[in-house]
Amino acid sequence: MTAVMVQGCTSWAGKSLLTTALCRWYVRQGLKVAPFKAQNMSNNARVVEGGEIGVAQWLQARAARVEPDVRMNPVLLKPESGTSQVVRLGRVDAELSRRPWRDRSEALWPTIENALAELLDEYDVVVIEGAGSPAEINLAANDIVNMRVAERAEAPVLLAVDIDRGGAFAHLYGTWALLPPHHQRRIRGFVLNRFRGDASLLPPGPEQLERLTGVPTVGVVPMIRHDLPDEDGAALRAPVRGGLPPVAIVRYPAASNLDEFALLEQVADVRWATQPWHLDGAATVLLPGSKHVASDLRWLRDSGVGDAVVAAAGRPGVRVMGVCGGLQLLGRRLSDPHGVDGAGDGLGLLPLTTTFERDKLVRRRSLTLPAFAEPWAALSGLPVHGYEIRQGRTVDDAGSDAVVVADRNVAGWYLHGLFEDAAVLEALFGARPARTLEATFERLADVVEQHVDTRLLRGLVGLS
């Protein structure tokens, strides 16, 4: 058993991408590999056996060619208004969710430690991703994601920095300097991430940094264009491309599972809509999932985006779609007898009523889409596979469960993941994505091979 850990000087240092790349690179060395992140914070989750985990660890497991497992992300925090919902080993822990943040750490550590120990026993290498920075000295007493995990796994650490932001050498030195000596010794290499420009301008920075810290710079990883979703699922992309069908995805404040639209960006001109005018000219308007449907409904009303969605639905040739919470928002009414989310009148574009229930439904699901009239006819009869993460039951006027529904040019479904199905994308937008996840994982491993000290990477796990 052995482990390697990727930490970062800051959030958004590229830890997730580097961890994903290392998972595939170590698989190429003939090793059985598992990813691990003790605690993740994201409203983008995937359903696996046993419950839900963060999308980053789901992708890393795919890169490692293993079945994703709740132990790979034993604690998932899903942000809510002023707090966060705690998902422990795939399931919501209501009691811990009510506790103040600092009071959760010690209660969660045994779960994290046990999950990590089991993975270390079952796999040749566990590639661990940290969170934030190990040098957040105000949070050090509550650390359950960075150096405490590295110590438990006896893992050497690669410290990554986003050089594109500037100040990379100061970030690396400052992070190293704020750590106690026994944690400094765990850092075996610095990685300059997202580099673009002339590499000849880097010296003497890496050499001076090594003299100050004793830590070599072991990788200069270029800025990589890839097709993996980012942690929040809606990062800014390249400028609008012509010739593709325009799609506006409404990004309300509690929008969730936005990661599932990454492949859509290959076949459509995707824009993230936060203002009414962002819907102008869109041929398709998409309402994604929501962590808080009632609060997002209020935002739709207050911002005017809700009126813009209704207006778009009335224009010839425009399709409006909702996924999960988006389906609920398109209905007539939200009912909340248990005080779970909130009540109110929906946008009224689908003849549906949603009642929020106490328990969250988390499951993978397969079904065959029913026969649809235009403009959805191309979807008729397609077998689809997805996942459900929801806390509501939706019925039509006859009282029947509404999992997939269409009414003229407005449609919705509860299944997440359909926009990652090439057949669904082709039916809706006339094209299949040209680049696959598998190709992306291979490309990331190629980048590691070319731009990181692979002799050091092999040595970290005991390979000659």
Residue 70's alpha-carbon distances to 36, 77, 123, 260, 320, in angstroms, are: 10, 13, 15, 19, 34
All structural domains of the chain = 2-227+439-460 (3.40.50.300), 246-434 (3.40.50.880)
Residue 400's alpha-carbon distances to 262, 321, 444, in angstroms, are: 32, 20, 46
CA–CA gap between residue 414 and residue 391 (Å, rounded): 11
Four-point Cα dihedral 333, 337, 341, 345, nearest 10: 20
Overall average pLDDT of the 107-115 stretch: 97
Give the phi and the psi of residue 441 in degrees, each rounded to 5: -60, -40
pLDDT at 423 over 70: yes
Query: 25 by DSSP, 3-state: which?
Result: helix
Q: What is the pLDDT of residues 312-349, one digit of tens each?
A: 999 999 999 999 999 999 999 999 999 988 999 999 99
Per-residue pLDDT at 79: 85
Overall average pLDDT of the 243-250 stretch: 95
pLDDT at 185 over 50: yes
Choose the catalytic residue: 183, 278, 416, 451: 416
Residue 25's alpha-carbon distances to 21, 38, 72, in angstroms, are: 6, 22, 18
Overall average pLDDT of the 140-150 stretch: 95
Q: Who contacts 158 (Cβ-Cβ below 8 Å, separation ≥6)?
A: 4, 5, 6, 7, 18, 187, 188, 189, 190, 191, 218, 219
Mean pLDDT rounded to a whole number for the chain: 94
Per-residue pLDDT at 73: 98
pLDDT at 442 over 80: yes
pTM of the predicted protein model: 0.90
Contact criterion met (CB below 8 Å) for 250 and 293: no
9 is catalytic: no
416 is catalytic: yes
Share of the chain above pLDDT 90, in %: 86
Contact criterion met (CB below 8 Å) for 108 and 96: yes
Share of the chain above pLDDT 70, in %: 97
Give yes or no for a cis peptide into 204 (omega within 30° of 0): yes
Per-residue pLDDT at 84: 83
Contact criterion met (CB below 8 Å) for 332 and 345: yes
Structure tokens at 461: 């796990």
End-to-end CA distance of the chain: 16
pLDDT at 237 over 80: no
Comparing CA positions, the residue from 313, 315, 316 lying closest to residue 287 is 313
pLDDT at 238 over 60: no
Q: What is the pLDDT of residues 268-303, one digit of tens each?
A: 999 999 999 999 999 999 999 999 999 999 999 999
Least confident of 142-146, 225-229, 385-389: 225-229
Per-residue pLDDT at 147: 98
E strand intervals along 196-295: 217-222, 246-250, 255-256, 269-273, 284-287, 289-290
CA–CA gap between residue 214 and residue 263 (Å, rounded): 42
pLDDT at 224 over 90: no
Per-residue pLDDT at 241: 57
Q: Who contacts 401 (Cβ-Cβ below 8 Å, separation ≥6)?
A: 393, 394, 395
What is the crossing angle of helices 168-178 and 205-213, to 10°?
A: 10
Contact criterion met (CB below 8 Å) for 318 and 290: no
Q: At CB < 8 A and 24+ separation, what contacts does 446-452 make?
A: 447/21, 447/221, 447/222, 447/224, 448/21, 448/22, 448/25, 448/219, 448/221, 449/25, 451/219, 451/220, 451/221, 451/222, 452/191, 452/218, 452/219, 452/221
Per-residue pLDDT at 239: 45
Q: Identify the band that residue 231 occupies on the pLDDT scale cut at 50, 70 and 90.
A: low
Least confident of 205-209, 234-238, 372-376, 377-381: 234-238
Q: What is the pLDDT of residues 343-395, one digit of tens each?
A: 999 999 999 999 999 889 999 999 999 999 999 999 999 999 999 999 899 99
Choose the catalytic residue: 9, 324, 338, 385: 324
pLDDT at 206 over 50: yes
Per-residue pLDDT at 108: 96
Contact criterion met (CB below 8 Å) for 90 and 362: yes
Q: Who contacts 57 (Cβ-Cβ below 8 Å, separation ≥6)?
A: 35, 36, 37, 40, 68, 72, 73, 129
